[in-house]
Amino acid sequence: MFKAIYLTKGEDGSTVASVKDLNESDLPVVEGGVTVAVDYSTINFKDGLAITGKSPVVRKFPMVAGIDFCGVVKESDHPRWKAGDQVILNGWGVGESHWGGLSQCARVSGDWLISKPSSLSPKDCMSIGTAGYTAMLCVLALERSGVSPNDGEVLVTGASGGVGSFAISILSSLGYQVVASTGKKDEHQFLTSLGAKEVIDRELLSVAGKPLQKERWAGVVDTVGSHTLANACASTKYGGVVTACGLAGGMDLPLTVAPFILRGVSLIGVDSVMASKEVRENAWSRLGNDLKLSVISQIAKVVDLQCAISTGGDILKGVIRGRVVVDVNK
């Protein structure tokens, strides 16, 4: 038997989340499947949507929640993995259309797993989770586009959230001048301690602005979307690069082509869910090398499986600072 956050549909169509005892024989049958004893999972924004049912991210019920996990292989039908290997899973529809990682045990395709970097503990890996891995994908996109620390300020929006916190700490450790945009007035000190050189109020960006504004950003990591992303593009410097990975403020994008055709600004979309194995391995290797371990513990707090259910609601309200790790065996 093992415990997991189990999602069902109530009679009124609402999602019901509970901690349930399950048997290993309940786990899905997968070709090239690997059974993993999970050490840690985490609560991402998407897990909040799944647990509360606020958005239809769960494609079939019953579902075990959790888009991330880190653990040890128990059994493997996949040539790349053997019992005892330490592995990470991020995305691939796990926790949405395939049983997920907010569980003491998971079975997934071996193609979806990558090795845990040796410099990071299982808890570190889930403190980072999909949020930190996505932050690294954004930083890699800025680097690939030639944005360097000497080019000027880099804006990070949704700064106190999971992606935002890790984006600040990765960028600042690489020498970038980071400006953090937040709605949380009492978290300025936290954001400065992660490496932000300036903190601005998110209201400056979240209302409709002019199509072209004063040029400020060499690069942007945007987790918010909507007017925030539009204003970020409108105030990016000539030839600058904006990476878009989130929709915490809305899915719309009310902007004009002016920043692109008059200033040569690039807008790059970042997806973590279906990224290739090579892209993931590179991002996790960079996380293992570039992140200061002291920063990881500063960003994350730990809860148990029961508490993770209410955290799912809190993350959607935007009241969580940094990241929440789930010790599934607590």
Write out the residues near ligand NDP by the rule CB under 6 A: 44-46, 130-131, 134, 158-164, 182-184, 202, 206, 223-224, 228, 245-249, 270-273, 315, 318, 320
Smallest distance, ligand NDP to C-beta of residue 167, A: 9
**CA angle at 264 for the pair 261 and 267, rounded to the nearest 5°:** 95
Nearer to ligand NDP, 27 or 178 (CB): 178
Residue nearest to ligand NDP (CB): 161
b/e 155-178 (16+ beta carbons within 10 angstroms → b): bbbbbbbbbbbbbbbbbbebebbb
Smallest distance, ligand NDP to C-beta of residue 229, A: 10
Smallest distance, ligand NDP to C-beta of residue 165, A: 8
Nearer to ligand NDP, 109 or 134 (CB): 134
User: What's at 80, amino acid-wise?
Assistant: R
Smallest distance, ligand NDP to C-beta of residue 109, A: 19
Nearer to ligand NDP, 187 or 327 (CB): 187
- Report how far residue 283's alpha carbon sits from residue 114's, in angstroms, rounded to the nearest whole number: 11
Smallest distance, ligand NDP to C-beta of residue 24, A: 29
Nearer to ligand NDP, 44 or 104 (CB): 44
The answer to whether 110 touches 33, Cβ cutoff 8 Å, is yes
Residue 94 neighbours by CB under 8 Å, 6+ apart: 66, 67, 69, 100, 101, 106, 108, 112
- Report how far residue 194's alpha carbon sits from residue 319's, in angstroms, rounded to the nearest whole number: 18
- Report how far residue 187's alpha carbon sits from residue 36's, in angstroms, rounded to the nearest whole number: 37
Nearer to ligand NDP, 293 or 319 (CB): 319
Smallest distance, ligand NDP to C-beta of residue 37, A: 25
**Pairing mode of beta strands 68-76, 86-90:** antiparallel
Smallest distance, ligand NDP to C-beta of residue 138, A: 9
The answer to whether 119 touches 131, Cβ cutoff 8 Å, is no
Tell me the backbone φ, ψ of residue 2, rounded to 5 degrees.
-145, 165
- Report how far residue 319's alpha carbon sits from residue 311's, in angstroms, rounded to the nearest whole number: 10
Nearer to ligand NDP, 39 or 68 (CB): 68
Nearer to ligand NDP, 22 or 67 (CB): 67
- Give the tokens for residue 49: 């949507």
